[in-house]
Amino acid sequence: MASSTPPLVHTLPDARWSCRSCGHCCRDFDLGPVEPPTFAALVAADPPSFWPPAAAQPWYELRQGPDGSSDAWLAHRQGSCIFLDDQRRCAIHAHLGPAAKPAFCREFPFHLVHQRSGYAAIVRPTCAGLHLSCQDGEPLDAQVQELPELPRAYPVARFEPDSVEILPGVGLDASGWHASEPAILRLLLAPLEDPRLTVAQLRQALARATGRALPPPDAQRYHHAVLETLQLLASALRPLATQTDSPRAALPALAVTWIERAIETPPQGLLPMGADACGYLNGILRSLVFGRLFHRQGGLPRSMGQLLVDLHMARSVALDLSPDAGPEPAALASVLAPWWGLAAHGALVQATRQAGPKLDSVFLNA
């Protein structure tokens, strides 16, 4: 007989989150795929009978899945999920209950990964309200224990690497990574400071642990690599920004203006960040490691390099929002959350891969 005890899900110490009902997760995201049992139940419930927008246009679309079968995705209406109401609430939730929503809706903003000791869960940095939860959110541990039991269109991601790159050209096998990971996380849980300094400390610690002698960081190379990466990303975004027939074309166009602002801003022009902003950003840095999100980008160096490029952009935009004060968490989140949601687009993924050596340089010279 199967045990009713949920699988053990690990979280970062003191991790917190509470929903702010901002509705951001229902906008500017691809909404699918919907797992077949949930989709069948929604069809049977006849959404047009209780939700007028679902009668005015198709409430789902079919796309070809990785195995060649057809997957259902929820439709957009004016850039938002068709089921998002005027109060930024979910019509499926209101009329059919929370269990009727697709698993990707029920799981967001949590990211779950299966690894050697069970599961690890973090709050996705694409959550627009994450910055508000750092101090007053509910403990994360109690909110994620049932996540492995959700029905899914695809299995939970597994972290089973043959090698983990921790410095450019330097990798650890799976056993070496698992042995080193606790010390890396302890370093990242140290007192809060500018994330660029946190990355520099991480780089130095990894160099010592592996006996590598790295050249001293070079501020000019750092800035040059940041600018080259931003230029690559802007080139990838401009064609998307001109697709006026897309209901979500506004975000790529806005992101291009953010990047152009960042290219114009020298690092010395950025104002220092306060403790709240550093806490928010360092929390994201820790989550990239604990949630193994860095592995998708080719290892720690490129993931940390991309994070610093993104932070340069966000801090540059924040200068316009509050020119006489350091960036506030809300200003940073207003750029970073939608930007990271957009970053999964294929064109940006390809541009990020092309920028790999430049991201290594950002990491090495932070």
Which helix or strand (DSSP H or E) is residue 288 part of? helix 275-290
Per-residue pLDDT, 50: 94
Of 158, 182, 211, which residue is a domain's last? 158
290 domain residue, yes or no:
yes
Cα–Cα dist 149/258, whole Å? 39
- Mean pLDDT to the nearest integer, 298-326: 91
Determine contact, residues 242/213, Cβ cutoff 8 Å: no
For residues 239 and 348, membership in a common domain is answered with: yes
Per-residue pLDDT, 49: 96
Per-residue pLDDT, 245: 56
**% of the chain exceeding 70 in pLDDT:** 96
Per-residue pLDDT, 158: 92
Cis ω before 33 (30° cut-off from 0): yes
Residue 268: pLDDT above 90?
A: no
Angle between helices 346-354 and 356-365 (to 10 degrees): 60
Per-residue pLDDT, 193: 85
Residue 2: pLDDT above 50?
A: no
- Mean pLDDT to the nearest integer, 152-179: 91
Cα–Cα dist 111/108, whole Å? 7
For residues 147 and 236, membership in a common domain is answered with: no
Residue with tokens 């939730």: 93
For residues 353 and 204, membership in a common domain is answered with: yes
Asked which of 29-33, 56-60, 310-314, 315-319 is least confident by mean pLDDT, the reply is 29-33
For residues 234 and 352, membership in a common domain is answered with: yes
For residues 114 and 214, membership in a common domain is answered with: no
**Residue 157, Cβ neighbours under 10 Å: how many?**
16
The dihedral sign for the CA sequence 275, 277, 278, 284: positive
Cis ω before 109 (30° cut-off from 0): yes
Q: How many domains are there within the chain?
A: 2
- Mean pLDDT to the nearest integer, 70-83: 92
Q: Between residues 326 and 92, which one has the greater pLDDT?
A: 92
**Residue 328, Cβ neighbours under 10 Å: how many?**
18
166 domain residue, yes or no:
no
174 domain residue, yes or no:
no
For residues 222 and 154, membership in a common domain is answered with: no
Per-residue pLDDT, 325: 76
Tell me the pLDDT tens digit for each residue of 191-204: 778 999 999 999 99
168-172, 247-251, 318-322 — which one is most confidently predicted on average? 168-172
For residues 277 and 325, membership in a common domain is answered with: yes
Residue 24: pLDDT above 70?
A: yes
Q: Between residues 19 and 268, which one has the greater pLDDT?
A: 19
The dihedral sign for the CA sequence 272, 275, 280, 286: positive
For residues 215 and 331, membership in a common domain is answered with: yes
330 domain residue, yes or no:
yes
Q: Between residues 117 and 207, which one has the greater pLDDT?
A: 207
- Mean pLDDT to the nearest integer, 145-154: 90
Tell me the pLDDT tens digit for each residue of 105-137: 999 999 999 988 899 999 999 999 999 988 889
Per-residue pLDDT, 1: 40
Residue 28: pLDDT above 80?
A: no
For residues 68 and 120, membership in a common domain is answered with: yes
* Among candidate residues 218, 166, 194, the one with its CA nearest the CA of residue 364: 218
Per-residue pLDDT, 248: 60
For residues 139 and 228, membership in a common domain is answered with: no
Per-residue pLDDT, 36: 93
Determine contact, residues 233/259, Cβ cutoff 8 Å: yes
Mean per-residue pLDDT over the chain, rounded: 90
- Mean pLDDT to the nearest integer, 160-186: 91
For residues 236 and 353, membership in a common domain is answered with: yes
Q: In the structure, what pLDDT confidence band is assigned to residue 48 with cuts at 50, 70 and 90? A: very high
Of 128, 158, 188, which residue is a domain's last? 158
360 domain residue, yes or no:
yes
pTM of the model: 0.91
For residues 111 and 217, membership in a common domain is answered with: no
What's the 3-state SS for 218-276?
CHHHHHHHHHHHHHHHHHHHHHHHCCCCCCCCHHHHHHHHHHHHHHHCCHHHCCCCCHH
Give how far Cα 23 sits from Cα of 108, 132, 276, 297, 339, Å: 12, 15, 23, 28, 16
Per-residue pLDDT, 7: 63
Range of the domain at 232: 198-365
Cα–Cα dist 114/291, whole Å? 10
